[in-house]
Amino acid sequence: MSERRKARPATEVAHLGRDPHKHLGAINTPVYRASTMLFERVADLEAAERGEYPGISYGLHGLPTVTDLQSAVATLEGGYAALAVPSGLAAITLALLAVTRAGDHVLVTDSVYGPTRRFCDQQLTRFGVDVTYYDPLIAGGIEREIRPATKVVFVESPGSLSFEIQDVPAIAAAAHARGALVLIDNTWATPLGFAAFAHGADISLQASTKYLGGHSDVMNGIIVCSQATYPRLYKLWTDMGVSASSDDCFLALRGLRTLAVRLERHTRSALAIAEWLRQRAEVAEVIFPALPGARGHDLWKRDFTGACGLFGVILHPVAKARVDAMLDGLRLFKLGWSWGGFESLIIPAHPERIRTATRWEATGPYLRLHVGLEDTQDLIADLEDGLARLAS
């Protein structure tokens, strides 16, 4: 269960989800490795069978390293309670399964993370759930898309490939007026950058693999629930047997301790690099909602309290071989799909390949950058050399 909110986020990340005097004074909750839990008396075992035992009855549920991560993130985000799972994708798929049944309809933003779309199209539909994609910029117009059978509106703001900021309060108002739940993938902003529940979410999903872990060494996902949705999620999480491991939750908790300072640095460095890129002749547009003047900036400013190091750049038309030469020769920006770690990354991205409800209009090749924690000037120098290869 979530703890009472009492401090600013940078303080909270240092203190939430740990209780040293329950663990011999150790500052961090240790890694509890356990499967079987022993009961002292038959009466305890019988209480566990009735669901009335106050202790932990099996290693799959309730080990302290796991529950401390859950309560910390639930509190940070302003939710009721959270569940930890083995990946961000598992958080998304479990949440969608928990709140739908055959005959239901789900609305999903066209800017959604690719594997979320794959799950919706290839798995949810198998269980008789109808899926429709909507324009991420639809705002209150979502009302026209809502059918009597619509049970969920799935939001990802900003989309982690194309960075549209969605009008979450307008979408949530329309969804709630028609009895639909709002699920949000809040991985880009993290609970520090976007208060999902204050803006109308019923369930907030976090790939803690990304910034929360922060060191590219853990796969982890967290489902934060409202009080009304928690029982359904808890039931499915228990029935499916998909708790995260203590080892992974330990790493996510360790990442949480420095989340505020890391995000501050990622954001500052990304803004400096985005500003620099915007001035370059090779660049058509920088898509970074935290950047003044960029698309989505006004809504970002209205609703968000922070950003991160992930953004997109549209280049002017240029041969693919030149883009490949630019990327292949980079010394610091490495080629990799994931993000949120200390290291800088870059990929050619193709939003046009997966969209079905809207068109991705770009004049030239599109790159997604993750600005890591390296020195900003070194990163700019790397990109400057890369742009020289692009033009040569």
Ligand X SMILES: *Cc1c(COP(=O)(O)O)cnc(C)c1O
Q: Among all residues, whose Cβ is closest to ligand X?
A: 88
268-275 long-range CB contacts below 8 Å, 24 or more apart? 268/376, 269/309, 269/371, 269/372, 269/373, 269/376, 269/379, 270/307, 270/308, 270/309, 270/310, 270/311, 270/369, 270/371, 271/307, 272/376, 272/380, 273/369, 273/371, 273/376, 273/379, 273/380, 273/383, 274/311
CB of 102 to ligand X, least distance (A): 25
Q: For ligand X, give the closer residue by CB, 92 or 330.
A: 92
Options 48-56, 81-89, 100-108, 194-202: segment touching ligand X (CB under 6 A) = 81-89
- DSSP-derived letter for residue 334 is B
Restricting to residues 175-214, name those near ligand X by CB under 6 A.
185, 187, 207, 209-210
Q: Pick from 219, 225, 313, 390 the residue near ligand X by CB under 6 A.
A: 219
The two three-digit tokens of residue 103, written as one number: 């005959």
Restricting to residues 324-343, name those near ligand X by CB under 6 A.
338
CB of 89 to ligand X, least distance (A): 3
Per-residue binding string, ligand X, 266-295, x by CB under 6 A, is ------------------------------
CB of 325 to ligand X, least distance (A): 27
The two three-digit tokens of residue 218, written as one number: 């853990």
If one asks whether residue 88 binds ligand X (CB under 6 A), the answer comes out as yes
Ramachandran angles phi, psi of 188, nearest 5° = -65, -50
C-beta of residue 207 within 8 angstroms of C-beta of residue 189: no
If one asks whether residue 390 binds ligand X (CB under 6 A), the answer comes out as no
What stretches of 221-375 show up as alpha helix (H) in DSSP? 230-240, 246-257, 259-278, 297-303, 320-328
Q: For ligand X, give the closer residue by CB, 168 or 326.
A: 168
If one asks whether residue 109 binds ligand X (CB under 6 A), the answer comes out as no
Positions that interact with ligand X (CB under 6 A): 87-89, 113, 156, 160, 185, 187, 207, 209-210, 219, 221, 338
